[in-house]
Amino acid sequence: MPRVKRVESLFEISIDFITENMDTFCKEISTLGEVDAVSLEGSTNVFNLLPSCFIEEIIKVLGEKGYLKKQFLEYLITPRLRTLDFSTMCVRNEISDLLRLAANRCPELKTLMLFHPTYFLDNEDYLNFIPNFTELQVLNISYSRAGDICLGILGSHCKKLRELYAEHSSVTDSGLQELLIFGQCKSISTLDLDWTKVTMTGIQMALDNLPSLRVLHHQSTVECLVKIHQASSHQELDIIPKYKLSMLAIRSPFKSGSLRIAVSFCPLLTNVDIRMPKELTDVDLLSLLVLETLCDLKIFGHRDGNITFPGGVRPLLNSLGNSLKSLELSLFRDVNIPVVTGSCPNIISLNLLNNLNYINPWQDGQNFFKSDEILMNLEALNLKGRIPSLHLFLLLFSPSLVCVRLNDCDTLTDEILMMISIIHRFHNLEHFEISNCNFVTEKGIDVFMQDSNALKNVELKWCDKVTRKNICDWKKKANEKNWQLSISAQLSF
């Protein structure tokens, strides 16, 4: 059943009490006269005694409640703090003072998110504080317009850096040279340079100077690997370099034949993400057949593209499906869902989004499927677009489902939900979300309002036959039964 609201843990009770009384705590501390102490010994700031995980949870909950203020953060930025995320806190003109506090108080800071989704955090004064964070392992400076200066400082002072995120920033090859060649950051394993001014020269610099590099985001990575191959061929090298990249993204522009070359340089790939290169062919796609450890595959097709499901995707799944844990297919024609389910028995996450049509492999009139076509381990299902009823039934038949999202799916009906509920009662389902599913009514959603599942969240968006009264009735029932269940809706009228 939707879980009965449990008794809160001591940790949760403490967090709730502190966040509800932050004004009182801060006033009491301020009356003792100490705000800026760095040392734990003799400090009157009680938050100095709390571990980082506790402080981070207080900051998170304050943000969720809309209570987060600069004056609170002045006390919560303590010597024990390990993570400071400015992407979810503060207004723009408060960052400098808080970062100065962190530079003085947090010598052990490991993670710093120095970006914000709604405005630039690119004040060069901020960079003056970075040398203090010598233990820094994760840094995000996305959208910064002072990227190269920052990379030079990192190279000189932050040799323990492991992850650097700088997408949409002003970083160039010169900045990478300061970071990797003249600097000390040799242990970076994740480097995000998407949509920066870095060229193929900078990409090769990263590949050649970061032996631990596993994840490299840049729109020209494949093109760079082809260039390296051409140089190796011209120099007639006996040993072709191999890289330890585990993730490869393929974007436009793309030249047919490039994927085979890129894969030959990166035999350890486990994650491949293909987005909209019209030039990619079935032959290119089959270059992935050598990747025996591939576990995460995303292919965002093209309406006028050359990749097909029968000629490219199907043989790939037939060969590598056993190793796949996550699969996403978008904008394909003639998608065969039983081939997907039969070839990928171990898949945990499946996304089928806006595919142009699905074919029926079953005989006319057949209304059943084989047991080996059921995805027994599927936990996350995300579907968008019209999917044949029997195919939808097959996917929802998966007994391990934890999260289901269905959008624009007019084959989803009350009858399908009721039949599935009889079979496995959605007993593992925690999150159920449907949008623009206009043949589902109160009767269908009622199957989740029973004492038989683990449901925590229900989201209903623009479903024509779901009414405001339905929502009120479900919320009333959840409250009466003391269920730990959130029900939200956006109605069509």
pLDDT, tens digit (0-9, with 9 covering 90-100), for 416-467: 999 999 988 899 999 999 999 999 999 999 999 887 678 999 999 999 999 9
Poorest-pLDDT segment among 122-136, 278-292, 397-411: 122-136
Structure confidence at residue 491 (pLDDT): 87
Nearest to 202 by CA among 184, 223, 230: 223
Q: Which two tokens stand for residue 282?
A: 């079935």
**In this predicted structure, what is the pLDDT of residue 6?**
62
Is the model's pLDDT at 242 over the cut of 60?
yes
Phi, psi of 207 (to 5 degrees): -60, -40
What was the pLDDT predicted at 39? Answer: 46
Average confidence (pLDDT) over 287-303 = 93
Per-residue pLDDT reduced to its tens digit, 356-372: 999 987 655 555 677 88
- Rounded Cα gap, residues 180 and 202, in angstroms: 10
Q: Answer with the residue of higher pLDDT: 182 or 240.
A: 182
Phi and psi (nearest 5°) for 452? -150, 10
Work out the average pLDDT over 35-43.
47
Q: Which two tokens stand for residue 460?
A: 């209903």
Q: What is the average pLDDT across 219-232?
A: 88
Higher per-residue confidence, 191 vs 95: 191
Question: What is this structure's pTM?
Answer: 0.89
The CA–CA distances, whole Å, from 194 to 93, 123, 169, 456 equal 28, 21, 9, 36
Q: What is the pLDDT of residue 68?
A: 86
Q: What's residue 366's pLDDT?
A: 58
pLDDT at 229: 86
Q: How far is it, in rounded angstroms, from Cα 203 to Cα 173? A: 8
Banded pLDDT at 37 (limits 50, 70, 90): very low
pLDDT tens digits along 206-217: 999 999 999 999
Residue 411 has pLDDT above 50, yes or no: yes
Nearest to 488 by CA among 468, 141, 480: 468
